[in-house]
Structure 1
Amino acid sequence: MRLKVAAFWALAAVFWLPQIQAGVNVGATRVVYQSNEKDATLAVSNSGDDGVPYLVQSWVSYYDKQNESADEFLITPPLFRLDPNSRNTLRIISTQAQNLPTDKESLFLLNVKAIPSMSAEQRSQNVLQIALKTTIKLFYRPENLKGSLIDAVKKLQWRVDGGKLTVHNPSGFNVVLTELLINNTVSKDLPEVIKPGSTATTNIPLKHSDTLVFSYINEYGSTIKSAPVTPSSIIE
């Protein structure tokens, strides 16, 4: 009987997840930390849709090691109560910037976990409580980094290598891709982020007669579609 009750509440939690998630919202889809600034900020709000306060915990982790906290940053306040119809501002502070590259962006993840409070009635029942986590990208941008993200997108080098698609990013910026169309057909297997100075090799078939169109995320978190990459700009 207990197993049936537990299964019921787990299933109920899944169905209620979108409504719970609507309670706490972050104010951006990405954060760019300029190295010449003392900090970067992110607004967190409780819309009050579900009428309950949340306990909010925040931390920075590595992009490639998402389970490891990044020692290069701290967030204040790291833990706080967020009442319905209220907001707070997270301050991201660099504590070990001297360890980060000065000629390219460093990519991290900013994590915000929200735990809903339980009413006295819920505490007396067999209710499954779910903590919801929002994760967005955190870019640490050195002060003397040359160029811009727009320039970096224009400089992406798309190549045919053994009949497969590769792309090289010669810039110091991280380029976040959301979609790749080859001859108006969606193609997968391309990494989400083309990191500075990196080359992404894929299993996507490609010919010189093919036309590429890709979409990327700009500085403000909007999706931008590129102009078609003509065959003459694809290098063998």
Structure 2
Amino acid sequence: MRLKVAAFLALAASFWLPQVHAGVNVGSTRVVYQSKEKEANLALSNSGDDGVPYLVQSWVSPFDDRDASADEFIVTPPLFRLDAKGQNLLRIIATNAQNLPDDKESLFLLNVKAIPAKSEEQRNQNVLQIALKTTIKLFYRPANLKGTLPEAVEKLQWRTEGGKLAVHNPSGYNVVVSELLVNNSASKGMPEVIKPGSTVTTPIALKNSDSLELSYINEYGSTVKAAPVTPH
């Protein structure tokens, strides 16, 4: 990873930031890598509104260690130039995934870092060089995973523990939380993701008579409202 970063900085020495009103766009807000497939793909495009190329670097990191590089995947091309109005396809390839669980999803992050070139008008200006980074979730889904994501949401076990909300996810799916309504009021304190097999105790005050309504993010990046439930 250190060599990748060093190479990126060296190649980016002549790249500078224009006003940030355009840039590299990713084609999805998440990637689901089916383990039976040889690779997963993500489309990138340069909107071209600023008329400059971008230097793009991509890599995968563990969800819980965002500054590290995940050994389980490689992204190709790892480093490339994306011209104005240009497009490219990132290929995410599992190269060391044999130790990942085969009964539940594994969650990672796909990082896309871009540095815009200096425009013609800025060649004689002193401007700040900044990398623009986009991070999306990467789900590695084993072939024999049982059920579906909507079924996993239905099976979430909500309960009170010491007057606080706790939730257990018995499924093999990661449930990405968008919002939780308690008695039709938005509550803060839910985790970003309810991981497979995990139990999360939140700071949210709760009674057994309360009504809970979870909104979650599905595989396509859409927000879905689950049916209201009451804690057990």
TM-score between both structures, scaled by the size of structure 1: 0.89
Corresponding position: 1:34 with 2:28: no
- Corresponding position of 1:178: 178
SS of alignment partner, residue 152 of structure 2: helix
1:192-207 pair list within 5 angstroms: 192-207=192-207
Please give the alpha-carbon distance, in whole angstroms, between the structure 1 residues aligned to 2:107 and 2:86: 30
- Corresponding position of 2:52: 52
Q: CA deviation at 1:121?
A: 5.1
- Letter aligned with residue 158 of structure 1: W
Please give the alpha-carbon distance, in whole angstroms, between the structure 2 residues aligned to 1:228 and 1:124: 60
SS of alignment partner, residue 56 of structure 1: strand
Please give the alpha-carbon distance, in whole angstroms, between the structure 2 residues aligned to 1:151 and 1:45: 35
- Letter aligned with residue 214 of structure 2: F
Please give the alpha-carbon distance, in whole angstroms, between the structure 2 residues aligned to 1:161 and 1:106: 28
- Corresponding position of 2:68: 68
- Corresponding position of 1:165: 165
Q: CA deviation at 1:50?
A: 1.1
- Kept after mapping to 1: 8 A contact 2:180/2:213: yes
The count of aligned residue pairs is 216
- Corresponding position of 1:133: 133
- Corresponding position of 1:5: none
- Corresponding position of 1:89: 89
Which has a greater percent of helix?
Answer: 1
Please give the alpha-carbon distance, in whole angstroms, between the structure 2 residues aligned to 1:120 and 1:47: 18
- Letter aligned with residue 113 of structure 1: K
Q: CA deviation at 1:123?
A: 4.0
SS of alignment partner, residue 152 of structure 1: helix
Please give the alpha-carbon distance, in whole angstroms, between the structure 2 residues aligned to 1:206 and 1:142: 35
Q: CA deviation at 1:209?
A: 1.7
- Kept after mapping to 1: 8 A contact 2:55/2:82: yes
TM-score between both structures, scaled by the size of structure 2: 0.90
- Letter aligned with residue 31 of structure 1: V
Query: What do the CA deviations read for 1:6-43 (whole angstroms, capped 9, x no partner)?
Result: xxxxxxx89x43x1xx3210000000000000000000
Please give the alpha-carbon distance, in whole angstroms, between the structure 2 residues aligned to 1:195 and 1:98: 20
Query: What do the CA deviations read for 1:80-109 (whole angstroms, capped 9, x no partner)?
Result: 100111100000000011111111100000
Q: Which runs of 5+ in 1 are unaligned?
A: 1-12
Please give the alpha-carbon distance, in whole angstroms, between the structure 2 residues aligned to 1:65 and 1:94: 18
- Corresponding position of 2:79: 79
Please give the alpha-carbon distance, in whole angstroms, between the structure 1 residues aligned to 2:121 and 2:52: 13
SS of alignment partner, residue 98 of structure 2: helix
Task: Name the % identity.
Answer: 73
Q: Which runs of 5+ in 2 are unaligned?
A: 1-16
SS of alignment partner, residue 99 of structure 1: coil
Q: CA RMSD in A?
A: 1.4
Moved more, 125-134 or 159-168: 125-134
